[in-house]
Chain A
Amino acid sequence: MHTYTLSELAKKLRAKEFSVTELTQALLGRVAAAQPKLNAFVTVTAEQALAQAKAADAAIAGGQAGPLTGLPLAHKDIFCTAGVKTSCGSRMLDNFVSPYDATVVEKLGAAGMVMLGKTNMDEFAMGSSNETSFYGPVKNPWDLGLVPGGSSGGSAAAVAARIAPIATATDTGGSIRQPASLCGVTGLKPTYGRVSRFGMIAFASSLDQGGLIGLSAEDCALVLGAMAGFDPRDSTSVDVPVPNYMAELDKPLAGLKVGLISEFFGGGLNADVEKLIRDALKVYEKLGAKLVDVKLPALPLSVPTYYVVAPAECSSNLARFDGVRYGHRCRDPKDLMDLYKRSRGEGFGAEVKRRIMTGTYVLSAGYYDAYYLKAQRVRQLINADFRRAFEQVDVLIGPTAPDVAFAIGAKADDPIQMYLNDIYTIGANLAGVPGISVPCGFVRGLPVGMQICGPHFGESRLLNVAHAYQKETDWHTKIPAAFAAEKLS
């Protein structure tokens, strides 16, 4: 039952081919068997999962099941879960048991979904390889010597290895789309403000957005409907009605205008990856789409813009970790300053400290105008580029990442090389637009993702365009050989 998509599982549970408890037990078995290989989980919540499964079975038996009742998922360990450790991949929060649920956790729990556990991630979502986690790197299920991407690497690896059919994730600069690409699964970053950030530990508040990593666009559509929506507890949540994302999935694509961002082709893009994207575009042409070249001239500045805005917001958000109210505290502080400095120095890992210091520098007296205000002006230009593009086309299609997964350790000592992994994904965060990464082939046996971006609140169209491709191709159904068997050794 591990190979079924969420949509298939929903049908089989309703047809009583197996119970939610049986499904949950089978997946918990896979989670445990895969953990030594993948390190995809920080915490497994077997007891809660079985209790939720029992309740779901009762709801199904009593005829009170909703569309998501009994469907299993994993939550990225950035989402607060009441009574369960919420570490954000950091030593700082290794001892933190959240007193409350994130809105996303609450909503999906109320919809009857079964939480298998909390997935590993780059520390505080800062990283593109899952190597910055306090709990060690997650491995790529396609090759255990390679990174799964990040920061939502645990979520992507878990879904790719079919140990969880779907997982929540978050995306500040590409943290849903890039690992989805590197692991051969589907990753949706919704519009900024579409999904509540309440209880989602903050990294960069003007960029962070919660979303999903799943086996198909259809599965993402199914869960997004229950996850999205206005939340008065998140001041950046936007009060726009949530459409039925399933309703437009099968809309024909005839007449669809697809924009190709000239700036995304050539340059540092692997030629074999580029060929797969061009092949995917041919599928769209066959479906009646028209390809249009578009220019987003400010987009090449998205990486430097991001590395001012994101660290600046990170340095401010992470100021809350002071060793006083929660989180790590150093031993025997000699005074309050020593308590702050050593608690933070010990509790945060190397990359998080780098981002905090970068942010502190760009916001410090005398530099604010030159860096932060300048970056916010360039961000306005990037935003205007996207706005103009969406006046000409319905969606933008291009690569998600410049290359396939790389070896663990290969870029760990070179932050700039690491940052360039997100060169194609950061633009959508700066502009606040939604994006989805969809598997579109393999290079040297490793998966490649195609990225589709749409205008603000264009998730329905985005999912429709991704689903149309997945009906024509089977890349998203490929399973890494080591995880194909029902019983993992």
Chain B
Amino acid sequence: MSLNRDQIDSIAHLARLSLTEAEIPVYQDSLSKIVDLVGQLDAAPTAGVEPMAHPLPGLAQRMRPDIVTERDQHELYQRNAPQVEAALYLVPKVIE
């Protein structure tokens, strides 16, 4: 199966990725090949097979009590942020 340019644009938009003009044909080609590769699954006999939810049989995702376990360390954490003011993360204006 071959993915067209519009499909690549739409996937890149959904993934929030800007692509350069030069990247688009490269991903068109390789994603098409990957879709062909995973297309091998179509022929697998899976009628009545439950989708696997966890690699270890009988185990499910564990829940923890809904209690606060972290202490406030926002200053430490925000040291990695590109732009912070008054302990708030800054982004370009969202509401005019």
Contacts and interface: CB of A to CB of B under 8 A. Distances in A.
Decide whether A and B assemble into one complex: yes
Interface of A: 95-97, 99, 191-193, 206-207, 232, 235-236, 238, 298, 301, 303-305, 307-308, 315, 319, 322-327, 329, 333-342, 344-346, 348, 350, 353-354, 356-358, 360-362, 364, 371, 373-381, 383, 387, 415-416, 419, 430-432, 456
7 contacts: A308-B41, A319-B16, A324-B81, A354-B34, A364-B14, A415-B33, A431-B55
A344 B50 contact: no
A301 B42 CA distance: 10
Nearest to A363: B14
Contacts of A192: 55-56
Contacts of A232: 64
B18 A344 contact: yes
Contacts of A376: 51-53
B44 A378 contact: yes
A46 to B, nearest CB: 23
Contact of A96 (B51, B80, B92): B80
Contact of A99 (B46, B64, B79): B79
A327 B27 CA distance: 24
A381 B64 contact: no
Given A238-B59, A380-B52, A383-B55, 18 more contacts: A193-B55, A235-B61, A325-B89, A335-B92, A335-B93, A335-B94, A336-B94, A337-B16, A339-B91, A353-B19, A354-B31, A360-B14, A371-B41, A375-B41, A376-B51, A383-B57, A416-B33, A416-B37
A323 B30 CA distance: 27
A350 B37 CA distance: 19
Nearest to B44: A378
Interface residues of B, number: 55
Nearest to B18: A345
Nearest to B37: A304
Contact of B52 (A334, A336, A337, A379): A379
A236 to B, nearest CB: 7
A432 B53 CA distance: 12
Contact of B40 (A206, A301, A430, A456): A301
A72 B79 CA distance: 30
Contacts of B62: 235-236
Contacts of A238: 56, 59
B80 A380 contact: no
Given A326-B80, A336-B91, A360-B11, A344 B52 contact: no
B83 interface: yes
B80 A95 contact: yes
Contacts of B13: 341
B96 to A, nearest CB: 11
A106 B47 CA distance: 46
A329 B83 contact: yes
A292 B7 CA distance: 48
Contacts of B44: 298, 301, 374, 377-378, 381
A95 B82 CA distance: 10
Given A235-B62, A334-B92, A357 B11 contact: yes
Contacts of B64: 232, 235
B23 to A, nearest CB: 8
Contacts of B38: 304, 307-308, 362, 371, 375
